[in-house]
């Protein structure tokens, strides 16, 4: 019987290394995590309920709660942006060359 080893990743870079992800996949994870963190911050700021925000963002409350708990499996960036828009947040992106 094989033994499974637990691994803790404390950043998206560490997670990408553990999962052997490409730089592009790592960048996509970082963007989604940042959007999800902003959703949580804005939701706390507004005091809106999960059910109300889910309705405004045209998603389900369980889906929204999963996102707020950090479960982004199968979540599109489009959905995260739609949730932020429902919170009245306008997202701006900046681009720069990687070092």
- The verdict on residue 65 lying in a domain is yes
Residue 12 has pLDDT above 70, yes or no: no
- Predicted TM-score (pTM) of the model is 0.80
Nearest to 77 by CA among 45, 30, 43, 15: 30
Task: Tell me if 94 is assigned to some domain.
Answer: no
* Mean predicted lDDT score pLDDT of the chain: 90
Is 1 within a domain?
no
Residue 11 has pLDDT above 80, yes or no: no
What was the pLDDT predicted at 91?
94
Asked if residue 95 belongs to a domain, the reply is no
* CB 34, CB 24: distance < 8 Å: no
* Structural domain total, the chain: 1
Q: Could you tell me the residue range of the domain that residue 61 belongs to?
A: 12-86
**What pLDDT is recorded for position 29?**
87
Would residue 63 count as lying in a domain? yes
What is the model's pLDDT at position 1?
62
Res 42: pLDDT? 97
What does the pLDDT read at residue 18? 80
CATH classification of the domain holding 36: 1.10.260.40
Residue 68 belongs to some domain of the structure = yes
CA distance 36 to 72: 8
Q: Identify the pLDDT of residue 90.
A: 95
Residue 40 in any domain: the answer is yes
Q: How confident is the model at residue 13 (pLDDT cuts 50, 70, 90)?
A: confident
């Amino acid at each position: 019987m094989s033994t499974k080893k637990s691994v803790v990743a404390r950043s998206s870079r560490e997670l990408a290394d553990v999962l052997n992800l490409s730089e592009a996949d790592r960048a996509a994870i970082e963007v989604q995590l940042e959007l999800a963190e902003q959703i949580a911050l804005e939701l706390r700021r507004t005091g809106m309920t999960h059910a109300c925000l889910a309705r405004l963002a045209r998603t389900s409350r369980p889906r929204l709660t999963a996102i707020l708990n950090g479960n982004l499996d199968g979540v599109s960036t489009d959905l995260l942006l739609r949730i932020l828009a429902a919170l009245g947040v306008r997202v701006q992106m900046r681009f720069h060359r990687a070092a």
